[in-house]
């Protein structure tokens, strides 16, 4: 009985070994016949087809232009709001230096009449950032919230200065 079960196990072992050899031989033959090349080409075509969808054309803005600097300043509103919701006053405190630097950069990029108009708004913005810097640095949540609201109002004024002229006239009507 023991010999018969050993013989069965041995036969199973040989059948499994033979199956593995057959499959590995099949894989080797496919490798030689160029099957992986075809699969690779098909995969590349799929990636290209999925990756080459036309996206909506976005107005390209020079990243060093005043409009781009204004856009970065406007994006800070979301980051500051999230930080305030999570009571991360240290982040808000640290961001004020960053925002002040961008305000200075924006002022340097402007010229003529627009510089005169925007510099007044930027002075308000800088004052608001100093207030936020002080209150957030002292972990005073209520004062930080009030200063942030003022800061958001000034950001809205600043953004209005960079809207195209056609949008400004439509709002006045």
Question: What is the extent of the structural domain holding 111?
Answer: 66-163
Would residue 150 count as lying in a domain? yes
> What is the predicted pLDDT for the residue at 65?
84
In a domain, 39, yes or no: no
Q: What is the pLDDT of residue 63?
A: 77
Residues 4-57 have pLDDT tens digits of 556 666 666 666 666 666 555 555 555 555 555 555 656 666 556 666 555 555
Q: 51 in a domain, yes or no?
A: no
- Give me the torsion for CA of 56, 59, 60, 61, rounded to 10°: -150
User: How far apart (Å, rounded) are the C-alpha atoms in residues 158 and 124?
Assistant: 10
Alpha-carbon Rg for the chain in angstroms? 33
pLDDT category at 145 given cuts 50, 70, 90 is very high
82 lies in a domain?
A: yes
- State how many domains the chain has: 1
Query: Is 100 part of a structural domain of the chain?
Result: yes
Q: At 89, which CATH number?
A: 1.20.120.290
Q: Is 3 a domain residue?
A: no
As a whole number of angstroms, the distance between CA 163 and CA 126 comes to: 21
* The pLDDT of residue 169: 45
**127 Cβ partners below 8 Å, 6+ apart?**
none
List pLDDT tens digits, range 75-133. Answer: 999 999 999 999 999 999 999 999 998 899 889 988 889 899 999 999 999 999 999 99
168 against 159, higher pLDDT? 159
Taking the alpha carbons at both ends of the chain, their separation in whole angstroms is 102
The model's confidence at residue 68, banded by pLDDT at 50, 70 and 90, is: confident
Query: Would you say residue 10 lies in a domain?
Result: no
């Amino acid at each position: 009985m023991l010999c018969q079960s050993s013989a069965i196990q041995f036969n199973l072992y040989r059948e499994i070994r033979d199956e593995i050899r057959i499959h590995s031989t099949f894989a080797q033959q496919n490798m030689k016949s160029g099957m992986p090349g075809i699969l690779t080409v098909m995969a590349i075509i799929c990636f290209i087809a999925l990756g080459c969808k036309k996206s909506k054309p976005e107005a390209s803005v020079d990243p060093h232009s005043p409009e781009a600097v204004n856009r970065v300043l406007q994006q800070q509103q979301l980051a500051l709001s999230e930080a305030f919701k999570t009571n991360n006053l240290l982040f808000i405190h640290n961001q004020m230096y960053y925002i002040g630097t961008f305000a200075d950069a924006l002022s340097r990029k402007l010229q003529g009449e627009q510089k005169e108009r925007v510099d007044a708004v930027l002075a308000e913005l800088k004052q608001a950032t100093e207030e936020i810097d002080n209150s957030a640095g002292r972990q005073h949540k209520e004062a930080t919230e009030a200063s942030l609201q003022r800061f958001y109002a000034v950001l809205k004024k600043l953004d209005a200065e960079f809207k195209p002229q056609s949008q400004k006239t439509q709002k006045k009507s």
